[in-house]
Structure 1
């Protein structure tokens, strides 16, 4: 079944991968050939058998940062008055979940395996007992100030100084229209005392498990700053990557994956034809490789969005690129820079699925591919199996 925001399907809970396979490249690989509409089932460790001989493999080397800060339940979350902001303002009713929805951010995302979301409504305002305090860092302004989503929102009132743990305090210095708080800490972000509470965030459909933090990074991750992993790259092992690089050109881009990657597509975004903006950078060395490529295989939708945000492939002499992209790729889009795509199996109703539909070239064909994947018990989403479209 299809609708305006792409194909619709249901994934049995058993097929939503909660952890990666081991080794990484033993994941299943579905190969789809657009020319004759054939589907081949294989394993990711055989990827090199299907790559176009002259292709250049382009990956996103961004690394997921520890932007989910979790402070354990306390008998009380102490709020100390401060003169930094007017005490007459009361933003206790503002939450990060409600206003965020209009911008395509995460509506009621559950970042823990309990029932609370970033809306501060799960416990009574009169209760002195609270659940874990969560701070999801959206931006670091300097060594001590951040912009973040918080919960419980009712505790993070403007002008309040909060004791989050022994020796760790944060002052709410601003609340923007989205309900995001600006917090100023009494410690630097890299302080050992604070670092113990910082975690790599897993997707909301995966129970938080710090033992999976290393598995949620690609083997080539270098540039810290993403809120989520470029998951198509999680299937590569060092051995497989070395094998491919022996016979194919290789380049890296850096796109900072934002929190909006979890979000369902909104009507506002669809009408505007633009998504959440994400920062990207391509070094002069990698730009030279990319612009000289005869054929490009993008590893993941983030690599593809970066490449399609660059000027058309033309010889460039030592010129790098950087900027922000909000490119929205949907059916009807004409791809200029990418010829093949490696991607995972995505959530319905997301911009990622529309991008893949555009690349396949037909909603009916994409639905057939996904029905095949479900029948063959492919694992879905971030830690799931992969697809190569050639």
Structure 2
């Protein structure tokens, strides 16, 4: 890939410049050739998914205008362009289908105390049955079955729009039922007062959990939700969708770019790095998803008309490919533990919008399965040199079908 001169005008005005990748420029590939190690073997090594990122390029706060983020458009196996997200409609074609994840992040982080006064922190992971959740508890070592937790309100009740009266703050307590061996978490049963809903109580007692690498953010809760968030259940946002505005979605529709929706409740796995040396041994945390029949019909119709299926985010990729695990896309509701890494054979997805991901993460491996690990890391290095913002509140990448590589 071509080098970057930090004094080059491209650094000041990167949105309109295109680049051609020089074949064979990857330092990783050169090292592999010198050592006689095949790329397939390197693709299995966890250490192959490392890269250096300056701390200041980890975005701590979202941009005030969602679609003003930068967009790295990867439009062939050897070419890419710097743009901005508001140009997305011009990067796609009439007849293309954007598939978006309409999950909504819940106020999953709770703070409370034991009857002794000792502080307790909970991160809700998934609902097992009514009022019963699997949660990570800190500190959890001494919380045995039967232990009580008394929660502290994060948001006070608001006044009724009809009367102006402020309702009383209802109490929220919970009991530890058991330890979950698979996650190290706890099964927690909430005591919900008669006539109240746990969802409403969570709005008062809980807060939106931000990723651990966001340490100094003034973001409002709604800024960590997509503008089309609808179905509550995620503990992290499908961040590729954070760049969309209602106006941009309408511009896509006016250009003939249609939209369809799936639901995948992003779980704790999004925070957990891959820790095995051979990435093919990694086991994904299960996440609940739904691909409705209407979306399957839209995808089939778009493909039949020559349109391309563009997934908005890695969660949509996993939802669609998980629903096609039997060989053909079908309506699906249930859990997926699908782990996509280089060598994966694509069934549904033909392009993707995605943010820039953490080193050694399963998300980085998923994107590597599309365009190749070496090229992806080269693009990341260039994005770093061009001062792109990384991770959840950062900039985005558009990968078009022409950029996919065969394995």
Q: Which of the numbers 188, 202, 220 marks the counterpart of 2:228?
A: 220
Please say if 1:17 is aligned against 2:59.
yes
Partner of 1:323: 334
Tell me: CA distance 1:244–1:312, structure 2 relative to 1, closer, same or farther (3 Å).
farther
Partner of 1:183: 188
- C-alpha displacement of 1:301: 0.6
- C-alpha displacement of 1:209: 5.8
Partner of 2:80: 39
Give the match's secondary structure for 1:148: strand
- Structure 2: how far apart are the matches of 1:146 and 1:49? 44
- Structure 2: how far apart are the matches of 1:64 and 1:269? 32
TM-score normalised by L of structure 2: 0.75
Tell me: CA distance 1:7–1:291, structure 2 relative to 1, closer, same or farther (3 Å).
same
Greater Cα offset, 262-271 or 369-378 = 262-271
Please say if 1:341 is aligned against 2:366.
no
TM-score normalised by L of structure 1: 0.78
Cα contact 1:269–1:275 (8 A) shared by 2: no
Q: Which of the numbers 388, 394, 399 marks the counterpart of 1:384?
A: 394
Cα contact 1:200–1:210 (8 A) shared by 2: no
Structure 2 segments unaligned to the other structure (5+ residues):
1-26, 29-41, 154-170, 401-407
Partner of 1:358: 369
- C-alpha displacement of 1:277: 1.6
The CA RMSD over aligned residues, in Å, is 2.6
Tell me: CA distance 1:149–1:314, structure 2 relative to 1, closer, same or farther (3 Å).
closer
Partner of 2:204: 196
Structure 1 segments unaligned to the other structure (5+ residues):
80-127
Cα contact 2:291–2:323 (8 A) shared by 1: no
Give the match's secondary structure for 2:98: strand
- Structure 2: how far apart are the matches of 1:219 and 1:258? 20
- C-alpha displacement of 1:184: 2.5
Tell me: CA distance 1:185–1:313, structure 2 relative to 1, closer, same or farther (3 Å).
closer
- Structure 2: how far apart are the matches of 1:269 and 1:135? 32
- C-alpha displacement of 1:140: 2.6
Q: Which has the higher helix share?
A: 2
Partner of 1:106: none
Partner of 2:279: 270
* Number of aligned residue pairs: 332
- C-alpha displacement of 1:356: 0.7
Give the match's secondary structure for 2:60: coil
1:149-171 deviation digits (Å, cap 9, x = unpaired): 11122442222233445944322
